[in-house]
Amino acid sequence: MLAAECAPLAKVGGLADVVGALPKALANLGVDIRIALPFYGSIDKKLYKCKIIKNSIKISAGDAFSLCLTYLPGTKIPVYLIKHKYFAKKEIYQGGLKDLKRFAFFNQAALISAQAINFKPNIIHANDWHTAKTAELLKNNILENFFKNTKTLFTIHNLASQGPTDKSGKSPMAQGILNSNLINTVSPTYAREILTRTYGQGLGKILIKRKKDLFGILNGIDTDIFNPATDNLIKHKFSINSLPDKIKNKLALQKKLNLKQDKNIPLIGMITRLYKQKGINLVIKILPALLKQSCQFVILGTGQKNYEQNLKHLAKIYPKQTSAQIKFDEQLAHQIYAGSDIFLMPSLFEPCGLGQMIAMRYGTVPIVHATGGLADTVTPLQKGGREILPPDKGGLRGVSATGFTFKKHRTTELIKTLNQALHIYYQNPRLWHQLQINGMKKDSSWNNSARKYLKLYKKLAKINIA
Ligand code: ADP
């Protein structure tokens, strides 16, 4: 498994969560899976007990790297770390052509490392543009038949980030799509969407060419890390049977964020990178209108500077109702998942999205744009944009909904959906409670999806490389 990120060692976003969790589920199914990752300056050598296993492995004339080993915490899954000055700085990404060079180096070094320790995998599973080069390297047989029987699976986590284009005029993402034996993306809906002009990010045609080799497998979440019953990062642990304890987390969160402490005011949370993809522009536009109602809003995230400034500004205007936490903070993230009533994820597009699944596990009701993985994971209470209330008689047993969705990516739709949710929160607590329970009962673990990956691996292992 090759990737630029792997939680908890090196994380920027959802890619890290996937690479930190899927291997565990695959190992449980009997797969001998090993991860390769650049040894970034930010990875804590002591904490992860990183050992050098091979020094100065030659990569080209004069250039060499060291190979270190640690294990995915709590598992026996090896994580091989490629140590070279390219990765000495703390940042995972440095931007531009520099990254093209750094990650091309990583790909080559990872393959050479496998040979150096005589590990001949059936499959190399590459993730996103940073590791797209492996397929080409294998095709060009850089290691004289060592990988003769090795096949490649390329997972697209986000088609929007294709990597810098080199002299060939093709992005690493495009090359990965063309050169890998099979391709998948992280939800069935996104796998269909990317074949269209709207979502194809300019690669629609290439993807259509490979349509029969393209699959959609939903991401899962690490249900050991994201478990309200055992989570040490939250103030009060809770489960379906002790849902009132969730309120204690809300009060603690309100206090921590200097919001008015009131268990009855609905608290809307967001945890996200601050980019247009995540629908932040819509949120900034509707906030003044939304905050006219009795509700509170907290956002945790970093990203585009103008969004950061807008959010800080709004928090200044509405200090009792709004908190803008412009930073990356794992603990606060858990506390927001646990303490919010509503989790907002109005992404313009979303390959899979993890936030909504984590939120549901913590009894926080998601409101999402019905796109990509958001559409695949949130069962809406409304049909055709109109809320469907359960019949007065017959109770709530028939309600399978876990949240709210909206179809058109517009401020009017977002505010309408938020109002529907707030209305039910205030007027129909029993129904609200049912939404929470349904979300908490939903199986978002990796078990099902890991089986689907294994099926793809098996399918691949039988393919002859052309
Ligand atoms: P993406 O991969 O596009 O960033 P996902 O929803 O798939 O979006 O995954 C985002 C992951 O990163 C989630 O685990 C979320 O909780 C976490 N995250 C995002 N921003 C922050 C932040 N500022 N602090 C802590 N965790 C964050």
- How confident is the model over 179-203, as pLDDT tens digits? 999 999 999 999 999 999 999 999 9
- How confident is the model over 217-256, as pLDDT tens digits? 999 999 989 999 999 999 999 999 999 999 999 999 999 9
Gap between the terminal Cα atoms of the chain: 22
Q: Roughly what angle, to the nearest 10 degrees, separates helices 14-28 and 447-462?
A: 80
CA of 385 relative to ligand 1 center, distance in Å? 28
- What pLDDT was estimated at residue 466? 43
CA of 13 relative to ligand 1 center, distance in Å? 5
> To test ligand 1's pocket by mutation, which of 161, 223, 272 has the most ligand atoms within 8 angstroms of CB?
272
Which residues, at least 6 apart from 329, have a Cβ–Cβ distance to it below 8 Å?
300
> To test ligand 1's pocket by mutation, which of 5, 161, 271 has the most ligand atoms within 8 angstroms of CB?
271
For the entire predicted model, the pTM comes to 0.92
- What pLDDT was estimated at residue 395? 65
Burial 49-84 (b: 16+ CB within 10 A, else e): ebeeebeebebeeeeebbbbbbebeeeebbbbbbbb
Task: Work out which ligand 1 atom sits closest to the CA atom of 278.
Answer: 3
Residue 22: strand, helix, or coil:
helix
CA of 353 relative to ligand 1 center, distance in Å? 9
Ligand 1 lined by 330 (C-beta under 6 Å): yes
> To test ligand 1's pocket by mutation, which of 127, 273, 374 has the most ligand atoms within 8 angstroms of CB?
273
CA of 430 relative to ligand 1 center, distance in Å? 30
* pLDDT for 383 beyond 80: no
- How confident is the model over 326-369, as pLDDT tens digits? 999 999 999 999 999 999 999 999 999 999 999 999 999 999 99
- What pLDDT was estimated at residue 167? 81
Task: Work out which ligand 1 atom sits closest to the CA atom of 11.
Answer: 12
Task: Name the band, by pLDDT with cuts 50, 70 and 90, for residue 399.
Answer: confident
Ligand 1 lined by 272 (C-beta under 6 Å): yes
Task: Name the band, by pLDDT with cuts 50, 70 and 90, for residue 141.
Answer: confident
CA of 326 relative to ligand 1 center, distance in Å? 13
Ligand 1 lined by 333 (C-beta under 6 Å): yes
Q: Which of 132, 9, 160, 18 is nearest to 449 (CA)?
A: 18
- What pLDDT was estimated at residue 462? 85
- What pLDDT was estimated at residue 389? 59
Q: What CA–CA distance (Å, rounded) separates 398 from 132?
A: 46
